[in-house]
């Protein structure tokens, strides 16, 4: 029998598998476009509009201006920016340093039951309402909280700015630690425990082995966890609002103030866009550094 070439099925304009995929994507894409992408675009536009005091929002036919962005180049805005980043970075770092040993113990030291209990606790914390966690901290350590007598006895004024900053940090830490720990579990699981064993059989004490092997190998995961924590902390709203008592303001609180107190939508929009751009910059800078180390992201 002579070889027969297989006749290929008629090629459709879009082959069937791709058509099905696009059909399945359609509702999601519709939602993304209509209530995510378009509103963000609208926000950009709004930030370029002129704000007329006394009006709610901007006039429909207002001219385009960069005034709102120029307003951001003020010390007060820079102060808020600095405050946000300072506290976020500190909380993220602290959270990471606390999460890493905890994650390590869960993976390497705990029995299966202890592991399940701990993971259960962490997941519960992640699912638990941020509002609950924030007010819990306020009730425990806040200025009218039950720790008040103790603080006064130690000479700490619970209403001082310094203490309020610490409280906001604590709030961020409380939120960031469970997420970081859970993220790092995967990282540590991927590190072969026998590497540390090898180091120790070659003479290194445990702490040196970990410093020289576990930590460097976990670095990509640590960077990722840090990014996740930073992203969360920078955009925190409830924590600074409740615990900051108006003394500590984050970027998100500024946006809300512009919106609710002053009805200066264009300015609020401008701060929003600025905040978004800054967040994206931080993310891409860090993941570039991450990738630059030769690690897979």
Partner 1 sequence: MNGRTKRLGDRILGGAMVAMLALMLAFLVTPLLVTCLLAFDSRSFLGPLPPPALSLRWFERLASLDYVATGLATSLKIALLATVIDVLVGTAAAVALDRGGFRGRGLLMAAFLSPLIVPAVVIGLALLLFLSRIGVIDGFTRLLCGHVVITLPYVVRTVLASLAGRDRRLTEAALVLGATERQAFWSVTLPLIRSGMVTGAVFAFAVSLDDVAVSMFLTDPSTYTLPVALVSSMRASFDLSIAAAAVLLMAVTAVLIIVLERFVGFDRLLGQGLFRS
Partner 2 sequence: MSNAVEFHGIRRRFGAVAAVDDVSFSIAAGETVALLGPSGCGKTTILRIIAGFERPDHGMVSIGGRDVTALKPYERNVGLLFQHYALFPHMTVAENIAYGLRHRGTDKREIPDRVEEMLALVRLQGFGSRRPQQLSGGQQQRVALARALATRPGLVLLDEPLSALDAKLRQDLRAELKQVLAAVNSTAMVVTHDQEEAMSLGERVFLMQSGRIVQTGSPSEVYGCPGSRFAADFMGRANWIEARVTRRETGLAQAVSRSGLSLTVPHCDAEAIDICVRPENIVLSAADTSGPDGMVNSASGRILNVALLGATRQILVETSGGDQLLVMQANRVGDGLDPGKAVTIGFPVDACITLPAGNQAAASTSL
User: Considering only residues 172-201, where is the footprint of partner 1 by CB under 8 A?
Assistant: 173-174, 177-179, 182-187
Q: Does 168 bind partner 1 (CB under 8 A)?
A: no
Q: Which does 6 bind (CB under 5 to 8 A by kind): partner 2, partner 1, none?
A: partner 2
Candidate list 93, 105, 156, 166; residue touching partner 1; CB under 8 A:
105
Looking at the Cβ atoms of 5 and 260, the one nearer to partner 2 is: 5
Q: Which is nearer to partner 2, 19 or 55 (CB)?
A: 19
Six-digit token string for 274:
């600025």
Footprint of partner 2 (CB under 8 A): 1, 3-7, 9
What does 124 bind: partner 2, partner 1, none (CB cut-off 5 to 8 Å by kind)?
partner 1
The C-alpha atoms of residue 107 and residue 194 are separated, in whole angstroms, by: 14
Nearer to partner 2, 4 or 154 (CB): 4
**Using rule CB under 8 A, residue 36 touches partner 1:** yes
Which option in partner 1, partner 2, none does residue 1 bind, with CB closer than 5 to 8 A by kind?
A: partner 2
Cβ neighbours of residue 57 under 8 Å, at least 6 residues apart? 46, 263, 265, 266
Report the phi/psi class of residue 55: left, alpha or beta, with left for phi > 0 and alpha for psi in -120 to 50: beta
**Out of 225, 229, 248, 249, the residue judged to bind partner 1 by CB under 8 A:** 225
Stretch that binds partner 1, among 3-11, 67-75, 152-160, 264-272 (CB under 8 A): 264-272
Residue (6 or 132) nearer to partner 2, CB: 6
User: Partners of 49 in the beta sheet?
Assistant: 64
Question: What CA dihedral angle connects 95, 96, 98 and 104, to 10 degrees?
Answer: 150
Q: Closest Cα partner for 234 from 158, 172, 182?
A: 172
* 76 phi/psi in degrees, rounded to 5: -65, -40
Q: Which does 166 bind (CB under 5 to 8 A by kind): partner 1, partner 2, none?
A: none
Q: Judged by CB under 8 A, does residue 256 bind partner 1?
A: yes
Termini Cα distance of the chain: 54
Stretch that binds partner 1, among 4-12, 75-83, 122-130, 158-166 (CB under 8 A): 122-130
Angstrom CA distances, 246 to 28, 237, 239, 243, 254, stand at 38, 12, 11, 8, 10
Give the tokens for residue 280: 């994206």
Among partner 1, partner 2, none, residue 110 binds (CB under 5-8 Å by kind): none
């Amino acid at each position: 029998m002579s070889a027969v070439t297989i006749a290929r099925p008629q090629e459709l304009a879009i082959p069937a598998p791709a058509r099905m995929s696009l059909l399945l994507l359609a509702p999601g894409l519709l939602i993304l476009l209509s209530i995510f992408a378009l509103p963000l675009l609208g926000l950009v536009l709004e930030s370029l509009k002129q704000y007329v005091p006394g009006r709610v929002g901007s006039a429909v036919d207002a001219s385009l201006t960069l005034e709102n962005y120029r307003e951001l180049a003020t010390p007060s805005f820079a102060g808020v920016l600095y405050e946000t980043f300072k506290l976020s970075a500190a909380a993220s770092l602290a959270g990471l340093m606390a999460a890493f040993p905890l994650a390590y113990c869960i993976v390497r030291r705990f029995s299966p039951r202890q592991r399940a209990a701990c993971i259960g606790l962490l997941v519960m914390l992640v699912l638990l309402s941020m509002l609950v966690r924030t007010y819990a901290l306020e009730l425990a350590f806040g200025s009218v909280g039950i720790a008040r007598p103790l603080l006064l006895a130690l000479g700490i004024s619970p209403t001082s700015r310094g203490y309020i900053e610490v409280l906001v940090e604590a709030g961020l830490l409380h939120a960031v630690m469970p997420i970081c720990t859970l993220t790092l579990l995967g990282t540590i699981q991927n590190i072969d425990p026998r590497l540390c064993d090898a180091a120790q059989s070659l003479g290194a004490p445990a702490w040196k082995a970990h410093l020289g092997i576990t930590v460097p190998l976990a670095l990509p995961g640590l960077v990722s966890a840090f990014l996740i924590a930073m992203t969360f902390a920078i955009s925190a709203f409830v924590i600074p609002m409740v615990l900051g008592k108006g003394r500590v303001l984050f970027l998100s609180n500024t946006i809300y103030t512009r919106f609710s107190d002053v009805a200066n939508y264009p300015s609020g929009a401008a701060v929003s866009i600025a905040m978004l751009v800054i967040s994206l910059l931080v993310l891409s800078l860090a993941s570039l550094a991450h990738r630059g180390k030769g690690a897979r992201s």
